[in-house]
């Protein structure tokens, strides 16, 4: 019963927002030129496919980067831990737009990489990887130390303990945050227009 009431409340609020948005659109001077939108329907579809493919590729890479950096952050060697920490703080402390410009016009140009799709995917993955690292670090830290001790007590090596006991539990904990990061990746992909991966100018008004 409580779930039904929450669903009804969400539906009412969403409907109210849609009504307000519709009223705001009706106040815009001029007439909507939806024929222009229909004319560029193929561009919309292509842009959606590019966005989805690029975001999924960046997500896979960022998961790998995040996992490696999370292990660096958990390292006992101060130098190894410093490498992971500096990467995380540097990436999270600078805007994605700046990273895109430096990544494409400076780093990619220096190594002779001209494929804009590849550069955009790598920069997005590096940007998201820093956030993934903190997500994974938090997930690993959330596993009680008793789980590690129990794994070692039954004769598992450190790697076996991590792979069979710690990692499966951590993955379940971080899945919601990883899903949220995918949503952020899809939204952040719009910034890739600055390196001309996808640009579609459409006139909506007469």
13 found inside a domain:
yes
In the chain the first and final C-alpha atoms are separated, in Å, by: 49
The one-character DSSP state at 32 is B
Tell me the angle at which helices 167-188 and 116-141 cross, rounded to the nearest 10 degrees.
Answer: 140
User: What is the pLDDT at residue 200?
Assistant: 41
Residue 127's pLDDT band, with cuts at 50, 70 and 90, is very high
CA distance 120 to 104: 8
- pLDDT, the chain, mean: 85
Buried b (16+ CB within 10 A) or exposed e, 149-165: eebeeeebeeeebbeeb
Question: 68-103: per-residue pLDDT in tens?
Answer: 999 898 888 889 999 999 999 999 999 999 999 899
User: What is the pLDDT at residue 197?
Assistant: 59
User: What is the pLDDT at residue 185?
Assistant: 87
203 found inside a domain:
no
pLDDT higher than threshold 70 for residue 201: no
In this structure, are 2 and 43 located in the same domain?
no
Taking the model in full, what pTM does it have?
A: 0.76
Question: 170-182: per-residue pLDDT in tens?
Answer: 888 888 898 888 8
Q: Note down the domain range covering 14.
A: 1-30
- Which residues, in sequence order, are bridge partners of residue 32? 205
Provide the number of structural domains found in the chain: 2
pLDDT higher than threshold 90 for residue 43: no
CA distance 3 to 199: 43
User: What is the pLDDT at residue 1?
Assistant: 63
Mean pLDDT of the 180-204 span: 71
CATH at 86 = 1.10.3720.10
In this structure, are 69 and 159 located in the same domain?
yes
User: What is the pLDDT at residue 148?
Assistant: 80
Mean pLDDT of the 157-182 span: 86
In this structure, are 25 and 97 located in the same domain?
no
The one-character DSSP state at 29 is S
In this structure, are 69 and 155 located in the same domain?
yes
198 vs 191: which has the higher pLDDT: 191
Residue pair 24/92 in contact (Cβ under 8 Å)? The answer is no
Residue 2's pLDDT band, with cuts at 50, 70 and 90, is low
């Amino acid at each position: 019963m409580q779930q039904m009431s929450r669903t009804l409340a969400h539906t009412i609020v969403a409907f109210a927002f849609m009504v307000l948005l519709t009223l705001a659109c009706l106040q815009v001077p001029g007439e909507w030129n939806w024929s222009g939108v229909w004319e560029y329907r193929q561009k919309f579809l292509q842009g959606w496919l590019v966005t989805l493919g690029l975001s999924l590729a960046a997500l896979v890479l960022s998961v790998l980067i995040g996992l490696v950096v999370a292990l660096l952050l958990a390292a006992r060697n101060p130098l190894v831990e410093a490498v992971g920490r500096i990467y995380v703080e540097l990436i999270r402390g600078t805007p994605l737009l700046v990273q895109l410009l430096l990544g494409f016009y400076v780093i990619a140009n220096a190594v002779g990489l001209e494929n804009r799709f590849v550069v955009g995917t790598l920069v997005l993955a590096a940007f998201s990887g820093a956030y993934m690292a903190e997500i994974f670090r938090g997930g690993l830290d959330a596993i009680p130390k008793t789980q590690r001790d129990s794994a070692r007590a039954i004769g598992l090596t450190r790697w076996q303990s991590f792979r069979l006991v710690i990692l499966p539990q951590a993955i379940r904990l971080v899945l919601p945050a990883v899903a949220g990061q995918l949503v952020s990746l899809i939204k952040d992909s719009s910034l890739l227009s600055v390196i001309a991966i996808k640009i579609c100018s459409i006139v909506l008004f007469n």
